[in-house]
A and B are shown apart, each in its own frame.
Chain A
Amino acid sequence: MSCETVREALSTASIAEIPEILAAHDCADCRALADAIVAQERALHAAVGAWVAQGPPEQRQVPWPWIVLALATAATILLILSTLWAPAGLGGSAESFRPASSPPIPPAPESGQEEPSRTEAPAPSPRSSDVGTTRTPSPSPRPSPRPSPRPRPVPVPVPAPGPR
């Protein structure tokens, strides 16, 4: 069998038939060619087979139980925190949550007595004449009545210049 005939047979034979074709033909080139054909078709079939064997796209499961559990836990924590830190006017009592080491809250002043202002008055800004002088701030803010506003200077009418 000539090389030409073998190549013609190799072009259309199935892989299983190739050893039979080569059995009666002792040619290194034809044998290498047959090996290349077999290797190529095996690679093709392996690639196609591996691709076909991939399963369908997995359905992504939403973990609803875990989401519900996490939401419930977060809601519980928020509820507890809001109960602990609620201001007195909104149902909570400042007295009930006061630490034991803190001094007792003084009783509310009687009616008619002026309640001292709890808000600290802003420190007066230093004037230009005070720059350089040291002023010791008072150790504790004095509850003082709000100072009366300084009277505004009354504008003095300027006489119109007359002819000389």
Chain B
Amino acid sequence: MTTSDDTSPEALGRRHWAEIKAWALYECGDLSTADDVCQEAWMKLRASRTALDPTRNPLAWLRTVVRSTARDLLARESRMRRPAPVERSTTPDLDRVIDLHRGAREALDAFAALSPRQREAVDLVDRQGLTVSEAADRMEVEPGTVRVLVHQARKALRARLLDTELPALVRSR
């Protein structure tokens, strides 16, 4: 089957690029690895020549692609421990991104130490401003689970400032 512009995986990826990046970040935790995941997922989408099945949920398929790409990459990286990641970006506002990273370095490190579900929950609720029930719908979990995840994530992110011990859940990762 040949692809048309609207139903091709590439067009889907282009439309939902922000979600792809967020999912990659939830899976990996650090921006550099998530960048690699996005690049690989993008290459997969571009290489895919078949049109999407309209009976299936395209976003769920897209998320599966990103998740499997992230897991492959993380497994590969754990096999060959590479040196500290280098900040990379291909956009013209590179300076701004680097400045933001520098300012948020410790917070990003703490963010990377969270679990993927905690990252997703805290990002949906605190950064994107979703309510707990909306975030629960997105994550396909109960609202109570989201509340717990957000609670744990905030506690972990503020542990250094509050000079408290890291929560056991985060520390055990």
Contact = CB atoms under 8 A, between A and B. Distances in A.
A40 B107 contact: yes
B154 A11 contact: yes
B155 A11 contact: yes
Interface in A1-40: 7, 10-15, 33, 36-37, 40
B140 to A, nearest CB: 21
Given A43-B104, A48-B111, A54-B21, 18 more contacts: A10-B162, A13-B154, A14-B125, A41-B107, A41-B126, A41-B157, A44-B157, A45-B127, A46-B104, A47-B101, A47-B103, A48-B25, A48-B31, A51-B25, A51-B34, A54-B97, A57-B39, A57-B42
B165 to A, nearest CB: 11
A39 to B, nearest CB: 9
B97 A10 contact: no
A59 to B, nearest CB: 8
Contacts of B162: 7, 10-11, 33, 37
B107 A56 contact: no
B143 interface: no
A44 B107 contact: yes
B61 interface: no
A50 B93 contact: yes
A43 B155 CA distance: 17
Contacts of A46: 100, 103-104
A116 interface: no
Interface string B133-151: 0000000000000000001
Interface size grouping (class) on chain B: 35 or more
Contacts of B39: 57
State the majority secondary structure of interface residues on B: helix
Nearest to B21: A52
Interface string B59-95: 0000000000000000000000000000001110100
A48 B42 contact: no
A63 interface: no
B14 A15 contact: no
A37 B123 CA distance: 16
A36 B97 CA distance: 21
A40 B161 contact: yes
Contact of A44 (B97, B104, B155): B104
Contacts of A10: 158, 162
A37 B161 contact: yes
A33 B42 contact: no
Given A33-B161, A50-B93, A55-B91, A43 B103 contact: yes
Shortest 8 CB-CB contacts between residues of A and residues of B:
A44-B107, A43-B104, A47-B104, A47-B100, A45-B127, A52-B21, A56-B17, A43-B103
A99 interface: no
A12 B104 contact: no
A80 interface: no
B42 A56 contact: yes
B56 interface: no
Contact of B91 (A13, A15, A47, A54): A54
B96 A12 contact: no
